[in-house]
Amino acid sequence: MIEAKTIADNIAKKLRRASRPVVCNVSNRHVHIKEEDFKTLFGHSYVMRKLKSLMQPGEFASKELLEIAGPRGSIKKVRILGPFRKYTQVEISRTDCFKLGVSAPVRESGKISGSAPVKLLGPAGEIELKEGCVVAVRHIHMTPADALELELKDAEIVRIEISGKRGGILGDTLVRVSPKYVLECHIDTDEANAFDFKSGGWIYVV
């Protein structure tokens, strides 16, 4: 039996969250790369060039593009995001998976063990990744202060509401808390297109 106070507390929490919009940006397919792989693909003396800063501190879109290839097809002009990471990771949508013929698992960024193989083709070389291709789980970056305000914990799974003429709720959204982050939700192009959602719009934790 759920007590009336529990129900009232939950409703009150929902109402508090409903007054806290979270900006949401749409992640197109992209590649995070380790320096060694970058040199193989672009040449030993090639330097990664910044195109524009992203919202998360220190992160940026580079000018460098790769082709990614799977057994069924390939996708050209996939952007590399900087700075270098300790591992190379390819983030694609489920739609991209069908095009490439790749069965990428839905994963949190960085958790690439046992993820899908994919081939990277750069102007100076190619790499056969044995693993590293994932569909990024939808997630919200936030600081510990944001988490306190939204009454959330790191690694919590929440639902987010997307309004608009083709709105709805995305479940299974991961909360990621770090003092290095700023408050920002990331969904991929499939999720955005299903809701006709555009980068810079607001979502609500529900």
164 Ramachandran zone, left/alpha/beta (phi>0; psi -120 to 50):
left
In a 10 Å sphere around its CB, with 0-12 CB exposed, 13-18 middle and 19+ buried, how is residue 87 labelled? Answer: middle
8 A C-beta contact, residue 199 and residue 157? no
Please select the residue that binds a second copy; options are 172, 178, 182, 200, rule is CB under 8 A.
172
Q: Does 16 bind a second copy (CB under 8 A)?
A: no
| Six token digits for residue 169 | 């709720």
Please select the residue that binds a second copy; options are 166, 178, 182, 200, rule is CB under 8 A.
166
Please select the residue that binds a second copy; options are 71, 101, 125, 171, rule is CB under 8 A.
171
In whole angstroms, how close is the CB of 57 to a second copy at the nearest point? 28
| Six token digits for residue 114 | 């046992």
Q: Does 156 bind a second copy (CB under 8 A)?
A: no
Q: Does 94 bind a second copy (CB under 8 A)?
A: yes
Please select the residue that binds a second copy; options are 170, 174, 177, 205, rule is CB under 8 A.
170
Please select the residue that binds a second copy; options are 168, 176, 199, 202, rule is CB under 8 A.
168
Q: Does 72 bind a second copy (CB under 8 A)?
A: no
d(CA 120, CA 129): 7
How big is the site for a second copy, counted in residues (CB under 8 A)?
A: 23
Q: Does 103 bind a second copy (CB under 8 A)?
A: no
Tell me which residues in 105-144 interact with a second copy (CB under 8 A): 106, 137
In whole angstroms, how close is the CB of 94 to a second copy at the nearest point? 4
Residue reference for tokens 């202060």: 145
Kindly report each contact of residues 82-85 with a partner whose C-beta sits within 8 Å and lies 24 or more positions away, as own/partner.
82/48, 82/50, 83/48, 83/58, 83/59, 84/33, 84/34, 84/35, 84/38, 84/48, 85/32, 85/33, 85/34
In whole angstroms, how close is the CB of 204 to a second copy at the nearest point? 13
Contacts with a second copy, residue ranges (CB under 8 A):
93-95, 98, 106, 137, 159, 165-172, 188-191, 193-196
